[in-house]
Amino acid sequence: MNKLPTSGLPTRTKPSPGFSLIEVMFAVVILSVGLMALLAVFAQAVSATRFSREDQIAKQKAREAIEGVYAARNDTSIAFSDIQNVSNSGIFNDGFRPLYLPGPNGIVNTAQDTTTLDRMVLPGPDGKVGTGDDVTVPLVNFQRQILITSVTNADGSTNPDLRHITVTVRVTSPGRPLRDYVVRGFISRYP
């Protein structure tokens, strides 16, 4: 094995180059773009959460309305002949209406509705509904329509004992297109 002769002089190592200003600037730009994308995703998630709550409320209010019609028929608080739109001599308002609380008859979208908007009661900071810190949200951006139509038999005649009910709840939100939530069903003369 040959050893190279070493002189008594100290050897100099090459200094490490480190980062240049341009490399630091590129790193900052890349990091900024990544953080902005993350912020946009977070904003989108917050928006989706808000809209999902509205969507859930709309679905629930549509189900409640159709169940109210069934319940009124079952407890005979209204006659089967009343289960029609006003334009067909029934009690249900035509077209979309704000979600008002039901009046004395307990059925929504009738002439007896109150002028008080329906609302959702959400739990407050303690996470429990029914305590003093609950949050009440009026349903100002919701509308409901109950459309009742005749059912046609196979021979083309109108079935006098069956009707088709379509409950549509419409939600309008800034920055999002109009959304309709529909529940359909049939109601017969017989409970």
Residue 129 domain-assigned (yes or no): no
Please give the residue that has the higher pLDDT: either 131 or 51. Answer: 131
pLDDT at 9: 63
pLDDT above 90 (res 137): no
Q: Give the residue numbers spanning the domain of 145.
A: 22-98+140-188
pLDDT above 70 (res 113): yes
pLDDT above 60 (res 117): yes
> Full-prediction pTM beyond 0.85?
no
CA dihedral (38, 44, 45, 50) in degrees, to 10, reads 150
Residue 4 domain-assigned (yes or no): no
Residue 37 domain-assigned (yes or no): yes
C-alpha to C-alpha distance for 19 and 30, rounded to whole angstroms: 16
Residue 120 domain-assigned (yes or no): no
Say how many domains are in the chain: 1
pLDDT at 24: 87
CA dihedral (126, 130, 131, 133) in degrees, to 10, reads 70
pLDDT at 168: 97
Using alpha carbons, select from 79, 61, 145 the residue that is nearest to residue 109.
Answer: 145
**Average pLDDT value for residue range 160-185:** 93
pLDDT at 169: 97
Residue 132 domain-assigned (yes or no): no
Residue 17 domain-assigned (yes or no): no
Instruction: Report which DSSP code applies to 85.
Output: B
pLDDT at 10: 64
User: Chain-wide mean pLDDT for the chain?
Assistant: 89
C-alpha to C-alpha distance for 134 and 124, rounded to whole angstroms: 4
Residue 59 domain-assigned (yes or no): yes
pLDDT at 109: 94
**Average pLDDT value for residue range 114-126:** 90
Residue 110 domain-assigned (yes or no): no
